[in-house]
Amino acid sequence: MSASTTERPVIRVESVTRVFGGGRGRVLAVDDVSLELPPNTVASIVGESGSGKTTLARMMLGLLRPSAGAVYYAGTDIATYDARRRRQYWRSVQGIFQDPYSSFNQFFRVRKILNDAFHLWPQRPARREREERMAAALALVNLKAEEVLRRYPFELSGGQAQRLMIARIFLINPAVLVADEPTSMIDACSRASILEALMRLREEQGTSILFVTHDMGLAYYVSDALYIMSKGRIVENGPAQRVMENPQDPYTRRLLADVPRLHEEWL
């Protein structure tokens, strides 16, 4: 199932700004941010709570309009898409969020949630293949098909729901995955296995992943490139190793001061 990675398009954020509200309640959530996510790359946006990470992620997913600047996919400003093209975009660029329950229809069983992913395929596989692929995707995130397929999302734990989201991504095979704190509800032990599953997504399908996290250790562990975000701005970016070993910005150094647990916890 390995995908040709060279044909997968680049997603590029150019001088994007987002303002909420006006007058004295005005919030500059994202302030002139640019970044590029080439194919087959894992990058992380790291910053403390309220730094604008989710707002940026939502703009990249086309769920929120920038106040200024633009998001380009394969060279086209995604704000210019019509409804049909927008649906195509959402097949290619998938998001997973902090609150996993919000991404599922609560009235559908897990089987239907996963089965519906095949509607996004150019050609829907036969029933037997769908069953096999669903079971394989669930196994990749350490869920047992016979245990979860019959359940409703609200019958899953937070961690199970987050793993289900990732299983669904495996079935959709997007070019880009924007993952906003995808492991926030998972204990450290199963977190490692989820991260491994996400890395497999990149290896096997060439998916580029943008991680959004406040956890510098996690970001370093999974990323090629790091973007450090503070108060709506990217204060530093570069190859993960360089940013970790030789941070230039005082804010990055502050984030790094929290990381000594990195090695016990992640490796």
Q: Which residues bind ligand ATP (CB under 6 A)?
A: 20-21, 27, 29, 47, 49-55, 214
DSSP state, 117? G
The answer to whether residues 9 and 39 touch, using CB atoms and an 8 Å cutoff, is: yes
Q: Are 80 and 99 in contact (CB under 8 A)?
A: no
- Which residues are 138's β-sheet partners? none
Which residue's CB is nearer to ligand ATP, number 212 or number 243?
212
* Burial per residue of 254-265, b for 16 or more beta-carbon CB atoms within 10 angstroms, e otherwise: ebbeebeebeeb
20 binds, among Mg ion, ligand ATP, none (CB under 5 to 8 A by kind): ligand ATP
- Site residues (CB under 5 A) for Mg ion, limited to 35-54: 54
Residue 138 binds which of ligand ATP, Mg ion, none (CB < 5-8 A, kind-dependent): none
Which residues, numbered 52-71, are part of the site for Mg ion (CB under 5 A)? 54
Cα angle: 77, vertex 81, 92; to 5 degrees: 85
What's the rounded Cα separation, in Å, for the pair 200 and 111?
Answer: 23
Among ligand ATP, Mg ion, none, what does residue 238 contact (CB within 5–8 Å per kind)? none
Q: Which helix (H) or strand (E) holds 96?
A: strand 93-96
Q: Report the residue number, 54 or 205, with the smaller CB distance to Mg ion.
A: 54
Nearer to ligand ATP, 20 or 154 (CB): 20
Minimum distance, C-beta of residue 232 to Mg ion, in the bound complex (Å): 13
**Between 65 and 261, whose beta carbon lies closer to ligand ATP?**
65
Q: Binding residues for Mg ion, per CB under 5 A? A: 54
